[in-house]
Amino acid sequence: METESLRQAAEKYLMNTYGERAICLVRGEGCRVWDSDGREYLDFLAGISVNNLGHCHPAIVSALKKQAETLIHCSNLYLIEPQIELARKLVENSFADKCFFANSGSEANEGAFKLARLYSNTKYGAGRHFIISMMHSFHGRTLATISATGQSKVQAGFEPLVEGFVFAEFNNIDSVRQLADEKTCAVIVEPVQGEGGVIPADKKFLEALRALCNENDIILIFDEVQCGLGRIGTNFAYEHFGVTPDVLTLAKSLGGGAPIAALLARQPFSDVFTPGKHAHTFGGNPLVCAAALAFVTELFDKKCADRAAETGAYFRSQLMRLKEKYEIIKDVRGLGLMIGLVMSRPGKGFVARCMQKGLLVNCPSEAGETVIRMLPPLIVTHDECDRAISILDESLAEETQSAAGE
């Protein structure tokens, strides 16, 4: 079906929650994708940090094929071998003692909130259920996770929100201390704010958070849904900062494109989930766990995070050269291959220019629509980075000329 016909069908049959979608992607391989008209693109968005090993990685494709021919789904009322092996791999390579599997980052964060409240209620009784989140954070699209998201535009129209979430200033420990009291059960933070504009946490801020939580028996939750699993140059984002949380949430890239999320926790917090306290029908089913096991095996065993750190440093150095060339670029920020190009004007048109030239990036509205976000696969090469820089250079020149004519 031609792109225009697909667009008309989408308008007719799909709820319009994603706005205008200019192209239809039909095939992917490595860092490249092709649309329904046969055009090729360099994908520097990777499904919003989902295709961390690139599109259709052979190990993931093979695992999906083999598992689909064996057992696609069974209930969590029974033992599931790929699920157990995946949990073993995650636990043995992290701080955690136990795992729970869900379907999305929102669900993983919901699980973290439930775990924190249950732990506190069991130990201290009712009333100690408040969770401190950060301004400009993003934790999902369910009712509880938008309530935990520090952005009013995400929450607008869904009131009344879930009670019990309060917001501190990111990277300001005094702001957190002012909110922490006898009613606080947890603090949730993204080590790198993604939708908020690719803003890394300060190491000292996370260290102070850890100390505050230790002093008050408050659970520290790291939301690594976007920034984890190799994205910033370490297997888990917390490793980059040298600060260990009590609870960690993962999703996006965990299944290499298959929908799976994980809630990791250390004891005693992991022990509060007992039979009947939490569950998902599809969480950790055989198919998605086989894909996720293939992904984490590649990630850990082949040291993909180290490659992301090196390539990310190279790519950011080239972006800094563009910053020196174009006044329209105000900042280059990020870690590893999680990068934000901060512009002096809205970036929607710039994203379109890049797409027309064969480069896929995006500009999250939650970041004020001025941050160009780039999340290339961890396997991206220097040559592919150079190609992206060439397209960005051409697009920046056009954007600068356009701005001068306004």
Report the pLDDT value the prediction gives residue 368, as an integer from 0 to 100. Answer: 66
Classify 276 in phi/psi space as left (phi over 0), alpha (psi -120 to 50) or beta: left
pLDDT tens by residue, the chain, 406 residues = 778 888 899 999 999 998 888 899 999 999 999 999 999 999 999 999 999 999 999 999 999 999 999 999 999 999 999 999 999 999 999 999 999 999 999 999 999 999 999 999 999 999 999 999 999 999 999 999 999 999 999 999 999 999 999 999 999 999 999 999 999 999 999 999 999 999 999 999 999 999 999 999 999 999 999 999 999 999 999 999 999 999 999 999 999 999 999 999 999 999 999 999 999 999 999 999 999 999 999 999 999 999 999 999 999 999 999 999 999 999 999 999 999 999 999 999 999 999 999 999 999 876 668 999 999 999 999 999 999 999 999 999 999 888 777 6
CA-closest candidate to residue 256, choices 95, 378, 101, 94 = 378
On whether the CB atoms of residues 94 and 248 are closer than 8 A, the answer is: yes
Report the pLDDT value the prediction gives residue 366, as an integer from 0 to 100. Answer: 67
Domain 58-301 sits in CATH at 3.40.640.10
Q: Could you tell me which residues come within 8 angstroms of residue 230 by beta carbon, excluding any fewer than 6 positions away?
A: 52, 253, 299, 304, 305, 308, 336, 378
Report the pLDDT value the prediction gives residue 100, as an integer from 0 to 100. Answer: 98
Q: Answer whether the bond into residue 259 is a cis peptide, omega within 30°.
A: no
**SS3 letters across 47-114:** HHHCCCCCECCHHHHHHHHHHHCCCCCCCCCCCCHHHHHHHHHHHHCCCCCEEEEECCHHHHHHHHHH
CATH fold of 3-57+304-405 reads Aspartate Aminotransferase, domain 1 (3.90.1150)
Residues in the chain: 406
Domain segments of the chain: what residues? 3-57+304-405, 58-301
